[in-house]
Amino acid sequence: MDSLIALAPAVAERALRLLPVLVDISSPYGDTAGARRAVAASIAAVPQAEVVRLPSSSDGLEDDLLLQVRGTGHGRVLLLGHLDTVIPHAEHRAAVQAGDRLDGSGTIDMKGGDAIALGMLAELADPDWAGAFDHLDLLLVCDEEWRHGPMRHAHRFAGYDACLTFEAGERDAQGREAVVVQRKAAGSIEVTARGRAAHAGAAPDEGRSALLALAAVALDLAELHDPAGAQQRSVVPSILHSGEGVNIVPGTGTLTCDVRALDIAAFDTVLAAVPNELGEVALDARIGRSWPGMDASEQAAPLLARAGELLGREIVPASRGGASDASHLASVVPLTIDGLGPLGEGSHAAHEHVLTSSVLPRSEVALALLAAVLTAAHQ
């Protein structure tokens, strides 16, 4: 298995060819045509793989893509990524190389990681590697960015030896390769307000402002922000919609707050802080998006040590506050490791980019982890 790492240059070469192809496809969440093009490009990248389409976990969206390669050895490993982005078509930026930077929408979140995973699968689909594993699968979903509920087909991977997820990579302050073994639970609190509309000039005091009630709730919930506390809870009011016209007291509105914590149960404290009524405005609060956290620190420790030995440089554990489908898989595949993608910055932003020089070393990290998993499976 040690020789798997020698595939890294070929994997990186494939990934660097494929990445601009994927980035040039605008595939925002919910867009069927873009998702289909991204799926087709992924299938073309690994023609040897068996293609399975799985119904999306979000109703009405394009089916997810499962690429499967069967071997004759031991060990079942799932590679995981997503093809959807958050950037709408009108703001999509095609891939542009500028020195070490490949700029473009979706480069770091997460088509750079997808490209590495597809490169790995293509290289290991060679019959010469059939004895290295039993199952090697790559799941690319089309709804990660805005899915509210669970991943419906996570259970089908129960019993796999590991799940390797290819969200953006990182290095620690000492420059050591890092992978994500812990993620916070992520969710949203959604508050609906029902007041009473009135003419803002003729009868302003007859109205009951939903906007003012929601603004007060937003300030109160922001006070629950406690990232240094035991639960490392963050509460960030992020969306407020209210008002129909400049001369109308807003009668209705909605507020959404992003909430994160080590344990999903910590969301209940935030939900309970929303009153049923404020200033004669009725308030209805509920938990919207709700994703579990993950903590594979204990399971991953020996694997990281072994992979570091194979790689010849240390691989260290990291934690991250952002949500990822790794959290859904961790509930059925305890050895789930994330953050295997390339380095870069600007996720969801106009300056989003990947550092192309990082694709080779991050391919080495991913292959070292895979080799460590498969070595353990053969013992």
CATH of the domain at 131: 3.40.630.10
Q: Which pLDDT band, with edges at 50, 70 and 90, does 323 fall under?
A: confident
Distance CA 207, CA 210 (A): 9
Q: Which residue carries 């910055």 as its tokens?
A: 345
Mean of all residue pLDDT scores within the chain: 96
The DSSP letter of residue 233 is: B
How far is Cα 74 from Cα 373, in angstroms, rounded to an integer?
10
pLDDT greater than 70 at residue 61: yes
Question: What single DSSP character describes residue 130?
Answer: G
Structural domains counted in the chain: 2
Same domain, 277 and 302: no
Residue whose token pair is 């799932």: 78
Pairing of strands 162-165, 336-337: parallel
Q: Name the domain boundary from 239, 266, 290.
A: 290
Contact 368, 360 (CB under 8 A): no
Query: What CA–CA distance (Å, rounded) separates 233 from 174?
Result: 27
Query: Residues 169, 307: one domain?
Result: yes
Q: Would you state the structure tokens that stand for residue 51, as one six-digit string?
A: 């293609």
pLDDT digits (tens, 9 = 90+) for 332-373: 999 999 999 999 999 989 999 999 999 999 999 999 999 999
Residues 151 and 52 in one domain: yes
Separation of alpha carbons 119 and 12, rounded Å: 7
Q: Report the length, in residues, of the chain.
A: 379
d(CA 231, CA 17) in angstroms, rounded, equals 42
Question: What are 291's strand-pairing partners?
Answer: 186
Residue recorded with tokens 């993950």:
294
In the block, which residue shows the tokens 């959404």? 256
Q: How far apart are CA 315 and CA 172, in angstroms?
A: 10
pLDDT of residue 1: 65
pLDDT given at position 100: 97
The C-alpha atoms of residue 253 and residue 231 are separated, in whole angstroms, by: 30
> pTM here?
0.92
pLDDT above 90 for 74: yes
- Phi, psi at residue 315, to the nearest 5°? -120, 120
Same-domain check for residues 243 and 301: no
The verdict on 133 and 232 lying in the same domain is no
Q: Which residue has the tokens 């209940």?
A: 268
Taking residues 236-256, what's their average pLDDT? 97
For residue 183, report the phi and psi dihedrals to the nearest 5 degrees: -135, 145
> Dihedrals φ, ψ of 108, to 5°?
-90, -20
- Answer yes or no: do 281 and 142 share one domain: no
CATH number for the domain harbouring residue 215:
3.30.70.360
Take residue 231 and report the two structure tokens written for it. 């639960």
CB 308 within 8 A of CB 368: yes
Would you place residue 250 in the very low, low, confident or very high pLDDT band (cuts 50, 70, 90)?
very high
Full residue range of the structural domain in which residue 89 is found: 2-183+293-378
pLDDT given for residue 321 in this prediction: 87
User: Rounded to an integer, what is the distance from CA 311 to the centroid of its chain?
Assistant: 26
Residue that has been written with the tokens 């499967």 in this structure: 68
**71 and 107 part of one domain:** yes
305 φ/ψ angles, rounded to the nearest 5 degrees: -65, -45
Whether residue 191 is found in the same domain as residue 228:
yes
Of 250, 269, 290, which residue is a domain's last? 290
Q: C-alpha distances in angstroms, 342 versus 52, 78, 171?
A: 27, 18, 10
**For residues 131-145, average pLDDT:** 97
User: In terms of domains, do 344 and 366 share one?
Assistant: yes
Residue 244 has pLDDT above 80, yes or no: yes
Assess whether 30 and 98 both reside in one domain: yes
Cα-based distances in Å from 152 to 2, 155, 157, 322: 35, 7, 11, 20
Which pLDDT does position 283 carry in this prediction?
Answer: 98
pLDDT of residue 2: 67
Q: Are residues 37 and 171 in the same domain?
A: yes
pLDDT at residue number 379:
79
For residue 375, CA distances in Å to 89, 132, 133, 370 come to 44, 9, 9, 8
- What pLDDT, on a 0 to 100 scale, did the predictor assign at position 64? 98
What does the pLDDT look like over 213-224, one tens digit per residue? 999 999 999 999
Check whether residue 227 and residue 143 sit in a common domain: no
End-of-domain residue from the set 266, 290, 314: 290
- Distance, first Cα to last Cα, the chain: 12
